[in-house]
Structure formats: structure tokens, C-alpha cells
Structure 1
Amino acid sequence: MHRFEKTEHVGRQGLSMLARLARYEFTALLCVLVLSGGIWGFIELADEVSEGDTQSIDERLLLSLRDPADHTDPLGPAWVEELGRDFTALGGVGVLVLISLGALGYLLLARRYRAALFASVAVPGGVLLSTLMKIGFDRPRPDLVPHESIAYTASFPSGHAMMSAVTYLTLAVLLIRIQPELRLKAYIMVLAIMLTLLVGISRVYLGVHWPTDVLAGWTAGAAWAALCWLVMRWMQRRGQVESEENWSDTE
């Protein structure tokens, strides 16, 4: 009887390991698809924008968020406009720096020192990439409607959309790589995606970006986050970054 129970226990462990391996391999495949799709999507968008092929749909989508009788007035009452400013602030430099420092502090307190070092390189690296691309493309800001938020830099890709995607999604993939519970993994990722979408939509609503600017920021940011996930996964397998399996060992 004891031998049977031991065999059954070993069998359950084996099935659990196979299920975990299958989940990891599926996630890795998904990240590869996001990475390749994001790069392809950004290149296609950049080409279409450079040739002016997106101007017509950009204008229609931008004006669809304005009062048809008065294009200077965004749709909705004043509190909706204020809400749009609140959402766009979630992609501002100050907020993203605070979020990044908060996540870095969490990793340090959790004694995930190598994961913290990885985060301190991954997030600023994505922000630097966003800045360089904006300088390279130098697309003018929309001039159809007044800007409801101050804009200092070029339009393509949207810095707020890309930096929020880089920051929220990259931090999310780093946190879920060291988080053993599946429901917490899902919660962190859904929250990061929701914040990224709200920031991007608010930029178009406030008239400071063309829709294709935001879409390009999302695709580039998602591709960067997927790349960070794959790199961290590779480093975890080499023992260079802490993994979820040794979560309890650091507490």
C-alpha cells in the first residue's frame, strides 16, 4: 500500500511538471509571436506613415472623438476630458519613473537582486529606444484640433504609448517570471495591458497624437516587453536571474 501511494505521488509530480513545461513552452511561443508580430507591425506602420498612406484614416479617427459641430471640443462632458488627462498622466515620465522605482524597490526587498538589475536595464533601454525612434521619424503633431495636453516632442511613435507599454508590460513580465501563482500572474499582466491601452487611447482623445502613432507605440512596446521576457527566461535557465521555483529560498 505504501509503495502504491509513493508511485501515485511520483506520478502526480510528473504530470505537474509536464503541465508546467507545456505552459512555459506555450508562453515562450506566444512571446516569440508577439515579438515578431510587433516588429513586423511597426515596420509596416512606419512605412505606411512615411508614405502618407495613413493620413486619411488618421484624420477620420481623430475627428470621430470630437464634437461634429465643434472640432475644438472633445466628445463628452468636462469630467471626461479631465479623466483623459488623468489617464494620459499614467504614461508621463514622472509617473513611470515612480512606478519603475516602486517595482525596483519591491524586487530589492524580495531579495531578487539580479532581477532588479535586469529591470534597471530593461526599462530605461526601452525608453531610450522610444526617444531615438521619435527623433528619427520626426513626424509633426496633429494640427486638426487643439491639443488638450502639452506636447514637446515629435509624434511618431507615441512616446506615452510606447513608454507605458515598455514600462508596464516589461515590469509585468519580470514580475510574473518570479511569481509562482498563476492567478497573480494573470492579474499583473491584465492590469499592465489595461493601463497601456488607457494611456494610448487618451493621447488620441486629447488630440496630441494620430491613432497610428499610438498603434506604433503599442507594437514597439509590446515587442520590447516580449524580448525582455525571452531574455529573462533564458537567463533564469542559466541561473543568472532568480526564478519562481526558488521563491521560498529568498524569503
Structure 2
Amino acid sequence: MIVAGGLWGFVAMAEVARDSSAHVFDTEILLAFREAGKPDDPVGPPWLEEAVRDVTGLGSMIVLVLVTAIAVFYFLLIRRGREALLVLIAVVGGQILSSLLKLGIDRPRPDLVPHLAEVQTLSFPSGHAMMSAVTYLTLGSMLAGIVPGRATKIYVLAVAVLITLLVGVSRIYLGVHWPSDVLAGWCAGFAWAMLCWLVARHFFRSSEILAERA
């Protein structure tokens, strides 16, 4: 259901992105993060802008590569090679998919408000939102399968989801993405992370059954 819902949401947002003019849904939300009549002035106290830049860094390429490398080496150290391979496939595959989707839609960055962060790539979908979902949800779901207790599992997954949501919202606040870019990134990221987890679970169970029969 999550994979199907993610795909449906991505297709819906892609239709918005293909419009020649900005959708009212995008413009109203983007301007809601600016002071009335001042598109160059984000809402909130001055320190909030810097704080949001710090939050958006959690979805940057360098941070996600570092987090992924730490997780992969950890699984290798505890002799969980399959889990290490799953993380690599999910993150690397997600990055390739994100790049292909950007080229396929070819949407420019929003020009409604000034950008409060440096950007070079195309706008749709949000790479920060998508790769945060892929990385943190993949690691969160795997960690939830290891830690004891239902409350702890819920906490781990909730933290993964919270970080993903905060990174996506930060991209809108900084004016570097339309809201539909972020929603599409979340949808694609959730769907890809869940698909990788389902495929991995199938192969893990199949290998365990074969090992028991042997």
C-alpha cells in the first residue's frame, strides 16, 4: 500500500510540475513561508533561517554518504553482509533514480522568492526530500527490526520519519523547491525505501528457508 500510494502521489505531483505556470497550491504555500508583501524575508526570527540551513544539511549528499558509509561498515563489522548490501542498493539506487527523474521532468527552480541556499540541479523532485526518505527510512526500518520492545521500534521509525519531514520542509522554507517538488520527493523516497525493504525481506526469508532445509 505504501509503494502504491507513493507512486500515485508522485504521478499526481508530476502533473503539477509539468504545468507551464506555477500551480496556486505551490505559490500559496511557498509565500506562506515569507512575510506578507516581502518575498525576500522568511517568517520567524533571524536565527531560524540559520537553524533551517542546519536542518537541510541532514539531507545533503555529503551527510547522507557519511551516514550510509557508517551504517555499511557497522553491518560489515557485525558480519551482517546482507544488511550492508541492502543499504547500498537502496541508497545508490535511490540516487540514480532521483537523478533520472529530475532529467525526465526538467523543472526549473522556483523564482517566486529568493533562494536562501545554493542550488545547482533541477527542481523536481526534491533530491534532499527523496534521499532523506530513502536513507533514514531504510536505516530506521532495519534498526527497528533489531531493537527490543514495541515502543523502541516506534520511536526509531518516528525519528526517521521526523528527520525526513524536517528536511523536506526546510527546502520549501529556503525557497529552493516548490512544495510539489518536496511532496514528490517524499512519495518517491517512501516508495523506493519500502520496495527495497520488501524485496530484501523476501530474499532473506528465502535464504533462511534454504539454509534450514540444507
Using the size of structure 2 for normalisation, the TM-score is: 0.92
Kindly state the Cα deviation for residue 177 of structure 1 after the two structures are TM-superposed: 3.5
Structure-2 change in CA distance of 1:51 and 1:240 (3 Å): farther
Matched-pair contact (CA < 8 Å) for 2:16–2:180: no
Quote how far apart the aligned CAs of 1:53 are. 7.6
1:38-92 per-residue CA deviation (whole Å, 9 max, x = no partner) reads 0111112112321358611211110111011321010011110011101110100
Which residue in the other structure is 1:219 paired with? 187
Give the equivalent residue in structure 1 for 2:102: 134
- Check whether the contact 2:136–2:160 (CA below 8 A) recurs between aligned residues: yes
Q: Counterpart of 1:150 in 2: which secondary structure?
A: coil
1:74 corresponds to: 42
**Residue in structure 2 matched with residue 99 of structure 1 by the alignment:** 67
Q: 1:151 aligns with which of 119, 122, 141?
A: 119
Per the alignment, residue 45 of structure 1 pairs with 13
Superposed CA offset, 1:118-166 (max 9, x none): 2112211011101110111110101011100001001000011001111
The 2-side partners of 1:174 and 1:141 are apart by 34
Q: 1:171-203: per-residue Cα shift (whole Å, max 9, x none)?
A: 222333344543332222111100000000000
The answer to whether the 8 A contact 2:137-2:193 is kept is yes
Relative contact order, higher structure (CA 8 A, sep 6+): 2
For residues 152 and 201 of structure 2, the distance between their equivalents in structure 1, rounded to whole angstroms, comes to: 18
Aligned counterpart, 2:2: 34
1:223-234 alignment runs, 5 A limit = 223-234=191-202
AA of the residue aligned to 1:100: T
Is it true that 1:236 corresponds to 2:204 in the alignment?
Answer: yes
- Which residue does the alignment assign to 1:199? 167
Native 8 Å contact 2:16 2:23 kept in 1: no
Unpaired runs of 5+ residues, structure 1, are 1-32, 242-251
Q: Structure 1-normalised TM-score?
A: 0.79
Matched, 1:160 2:109: no
Asked if the contact 1:122–1:170 (Cα under 8 Å) also holds between the matched residues in 2, the reply is yes
**Alignment partner of 2:87 out of 88, 95, 119:** 119
Q: 1:239 to 1:185 in 2, by over 3 A?
A: farther
Q: Does 1:176 align with 2:144?
A: yes
**For the aligned residues, what is the CA RMSD?**
1.7
- In structure 2, the residue matched to 1:86 is 54
